[in-house]
């Protein structure tokens, strides 16, 4: 249990992200956490770079209604402060946290609270002897480093453990997690480290995590993007939904456009997606109706796709047909198309 969220076993795969505010700025961090929860995020991790941030963590914990993980590097005393502040989980990197004695001190503080500790191994922070043995940060090197530090926790009598072995490319990431999955039954936190900006980061993360999740490997995920944490959550949720591992959310299908398109379809599709997201934030319970919405650019595929969607907009020259359950109910000017679609969604879900 990470706070109120179960991780591992038969629990649903959970979505995590990290705040990208300065943790020492309590108000900004609390606001970002609230926004992430509204999007459907399950767990939020905060960077704890120094003592000021560690003490701010406690104030944030009191104002946030979601499990919080303290991300600790280099200084194990920051983990002790975060635990005092009510951390629901810890992430430590064994390669830079210091001696075994430091790890044992963290374990002693976490034991009474049963706070799970994630052993987070990255390709950029492996021990020198392991790097030398495997001649680099290979998948086997990542897995061995993780299991070495799991053994330290086990020898200390601690088993509230999660593990991650993140590389910056798809192949090593997949191989490392497969190795780890074959050698341990602890919950696995999936991710590709330094995955990139929005486009390459989404592709790299989705390919690696999609392969693993389809094989039944992985219990909680974080999409690492050089972008907002909100976008990380949206990509993570979309990935889980595509595999049937998350309840459906706002579903928008849209055509890729071509020379036949005579309306601003790309802008329209984005506005429909944004509008649906805002609507569903008002109706947070997962049992709210989720109509499939189609945004189509012309009459070639539009009518056919509209029949498969619950609500559709089919573009024409400066106007758009609005379809509900496969039947055109009205035609509106292009400028009013998004408003008309969202009005039909509101009626559908009774928002």
Is residue 13 within 8 A of residue 43, CB to CB? The reply is no
> What's the CATH number where 315 sits?
3.30.413.10
Q: Has residue 325 got a pLDDT over 80?
A: yes
Lowest mean pLDDT among 255-264, 294-303, 336-345: 294-303
Question: Is residue 84 one of the residues assigned to a domain?
Answer: yes
Which residues lie closer than 8 Å to 48 by C-beta, 6 or more apart?
23, 54, 57, 70, 71, 72, 78, 79, 81, 82
Q: Has residue 107 got a pLDDT over 80?
A: yes
Helix H or strand E segment including 214: helix 198-214
What is the DSSP-derived secondary structure letter of residue 126? -
Single residue among 242, 265, 289 that ends a domain in this structure: 242
Task: Provide the domain count of the chain.
Answer: 2
Helix H or strand E segment including 90: strand 89-92
Confidence tier at 281 by pLDDT (50, 70, 90): low
Question: Is residue 136 one of the residues assigned to a domain?
Answer: yes
Q: What is the pLDDT of residues 122-162, one digit of tens each?
A: 888 788 899 999 999 999 999 999 999 999 899 989 999 99
Whether residues 208 and 63 fall in one domain: yes
Question: Is residue 3 one of the residues assigned to a domain?
Answer: no
CA 284, distance to chain mean position in Å, is 18
Give percent of the chain above pLDDT 90. 68
pTM, two decimals, is 0.88
Is residue 44 within 8 A of residue 70, CB to CB? The reply is no
Question: Is residue 107 one of the residues assigned to a domain?
Answer: yes
Whether residues 165 and 271 fall in one domain: no
Q: Count the Cβ atoms, other than its own, within 10 Å of residue 120.
A: 26
Lowest mean pLDDT among 5-19, 22-36, 74-88, 113-127: 113-127
Question: Is residue 5 one of the residues assigned to a domain?
Answer: no
What is the DSSP-derived secondary structure letter of residue 93? -
Whether residues 212 and 258 fall in one domain: no
Of the candidates 159, 165, 91, 90, the residue with the CA atom closest to the CA atom of residue 126: 165
Helix H or strand E segment including 313: strand 311-315
What's the rounded Cα separation, in Å, for the pair 232 and 237?
9
CA 312, distance to chain mean position in Å, is 29
Residue of higher predicted confidence among 21 and 309: 21
Range of the domain at 214: 14-242
Confidence tier at 331 by pLDDT (50, 70, 90): very high
Percent of the chain that is helix, strand, coil (3-state, to 5): 45, 20, 35
Q: What is the pLDDT of residues 239-265, one digit of tens each?
A: 999 999 987 766 788 888 888 888 888
Whether residues 48 and 158 fall in one domain: yes
Whether residues 233 and 337 fall in one domain: no
Whether residues 88 and 202 fall in one domain: yes
């Amino acid at each position: 249990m990470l706070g109120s969220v179960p991780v591992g076993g038969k629990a649903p795969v959970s979505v995590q992200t990290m705040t990208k505010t300065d943790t020492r700025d309590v108000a900004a961090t609390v606001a970002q956490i609230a926004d992430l929860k509204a999007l459907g995020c399950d767990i939020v991790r905060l960077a704890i770079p120094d003592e000021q941030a560690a003490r701010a963590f406690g104030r944030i914990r009191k104002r946030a209604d979601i499990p919080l993980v303290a991300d600790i590097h280099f200084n194990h005393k920051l983990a002790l402060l975060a635990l005092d502040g009510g951390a629901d989980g810890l992430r430590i990197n064994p390669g830079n946290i210091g001696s075994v004695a430091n790890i044992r001190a963290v374990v002693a503080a976490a034991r009474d609270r049963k706070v799970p500790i994630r052993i987070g191994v990255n390709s950029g922070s492996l021990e020198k002897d392991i790097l030398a043995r495997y001649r680099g940060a290979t998948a086997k090197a990542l897995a061995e480093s993780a299991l070495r530090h799991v053994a330290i926790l086990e020898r200390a009598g601690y088993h509230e453990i999660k593990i991650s072995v993140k590389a910056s490319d798809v192949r090593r990431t997949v191989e490392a997690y497969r190795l780890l999955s074959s050698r341990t039954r602890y919950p696995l936190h999936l991710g590709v480290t330094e995955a990139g900006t929005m486009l390459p980061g989404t592709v790299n993360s989705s390919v690696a995590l999609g392969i693993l999740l389809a094989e039944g490997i992985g219990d909680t995920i974080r999409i690492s993007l050089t972008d907002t944490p909100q976008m990380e959550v949206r990509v993570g949720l979309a990935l889980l939904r595509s595999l049937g591992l998350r309840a459906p959310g706002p579903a928008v299908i849209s055509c890729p456009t071509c020379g036949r398109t005579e309306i601003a379809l790309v802008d329209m599709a984005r506005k429909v997606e944004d509008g649906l997201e805002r609507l569903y934030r008002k109706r947070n319970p997962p049992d709210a109706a989720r109509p499939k919405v189609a945004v189509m650019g012309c009459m070639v595929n539009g009518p056919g796709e509209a029949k498969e969607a619950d609500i559709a907009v089919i573009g024409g020259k400066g106007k758009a047909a609005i379809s509900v359950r496969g039947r055109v109910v009205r035609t509106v000017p292009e400028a009013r198309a998004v408003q008309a679609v969202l009005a039909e969604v509101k009626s559908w879900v009774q928002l």
